[in-house]
Amino acid sequence: MLLTVINSIDMLVFEKTKLLQEKIAAIKGIKKIGFIPTMGALHKGHLSLIQEAKKNNSIIVVSIFVNPTQFDNKEDLSNYPKTLENDLKLLRSVGCDIAFTPSAKEIYPTKIVSQHFHFDGLENEMEGKHRKGHFDGVGTIVKRLFEIVKPDNAYFGEKDFQQLQIIKKLVLKNRIPVQIVGCKIFREKDGLAMSSRNTRLTKKHRLAAPFIYQTLQKAKEKFKTESISKINFWVAQQFKEHALLELEYFTIADEKTLKESFRKRKQKNYRAFIVVFAGKIRLIDNIEL
Ligand code: PAF
């Protein structure tokens, strides 16, 4: 009865964990649940995850929660775009079934702190070095959301490739029965990877930002013939000469371990990872090599 109701009425919006859990209990095992956790400020990249989820699930759940414990920078947290009304409108327009919009109290009933995780060293590379505690925060919220939503499949973009690998590890180590699906990076026409943070770019920084992906594409081309150290040097030079974009790091790493590579080995798959400041906005991107 409930299932036909869910299929025929408008999207359900839950703020309370308990009420969502009751709905999930009625669906679980009967309908496949596809889940997309988000921090809101939804864009076409998020919507593409929903489209992907729709292929293999009959109930789509999207959470919107700006998770405080994954921010290492208070200013970044308070400036994170919040566009709930528009987000819900967008979710309705693409046929999302359930939106979960909890308050911090619902997620962290006693204290806003993260659990500490070991992800076999994945957490110590790249973003782990630059954003202290970030992956403990991500692990805490994703584990909690999985416990509440109990999805069959959960969808994450490859833009945050390190996060994607860490979530796969989280699921494996904690034996959480969910399939993690990685989805290709969704880009603007000019190549800039879609991100909620893009809306905070000034006009001149927005115009400059496609240079990041252009550099990644050239680095990929160079990877066919040049050494990693030469490519690292070349990328650093590109940004030294750039008036608006400041390179935080560029790393070529083994896709599995995420450890920085200095030599190419035939059996391994590599990816180039980049973080750039466009004014105050931190932009992240990567490319398969
Ligand atoms: O990628 C994000 O938007 C967030 O890190 C996530 C997975 C929703 C957890 O807060």
Q: Hey, whose CA ends up nearest to atom 3 of ligand 1?
A: 38
Q: Is residue 116 domain-shared with residue 137, that is, in the same domain? A: yes
CATH code (residue 122) = 3.40.50.620
Q: Is residue 121 domain-shared with residue 201, that is, in the same domain? A: no
Q: Is residue 153 domain-shared with residue 246, that is, in the same domain? A: no
- Is the separation of the CB atoms in 96 and 12 below 8 Å? no
Q: Measure the CA angle with vertex 47, ends 44 and 48; round to 5°.
A: 90
Among the atoms of ligand 1, which is closest to the Cα of residue 65? 10
Q: Is residue 155 domain-shared with residue 208, that is, in the same domain? A: no
Whole-number pLDDT of residue 13: 97
Domain span at residue 229?
A: 196-288
- Is the separation of the CB atoms in 154 and 146 below 8 Å? yes
Cβ-in-10-Å burial (0-12, 13-18, 19+) of 5 comes to exposed
Q: Is-catalytic flag, 118?
A: no
Whole-number pLDDT of residue 266: 87
What are the mean pLDDT values of the chain's consecutive 10-residue runs (289 residues total)?
Answer: 50 97 96 97 96 97 97 91 95 96 96 96 96 97 98 98 98 98 97 95 98 98 97 97 96 97 93 97 97
Domain assignment present for residue 190? The answer is no
Whole-number pLDDT of residue 241: 86
Q: Is residue 118 domain-shared with residue 203, that is, in the same domain? A: no
CATH code (residue 219) = 3.30.1300.10
Q: Is residue 171 domain-shared with residue 271, that is, in the same domain? A: no
Domain assignment present for residue 35? The answer is yes
Q: Hey, whose CA ends up nearest to atom 2 of ligand 1?
A: 38
Ligand 1 neighbours (beta carbon < 6 A): 37-39, 67, 70, 138, 141-142, 160, 163
| 193 backbone dihedrals φ, ψ, rounded to 5° | -65, 135
Domain count, the chain: 2
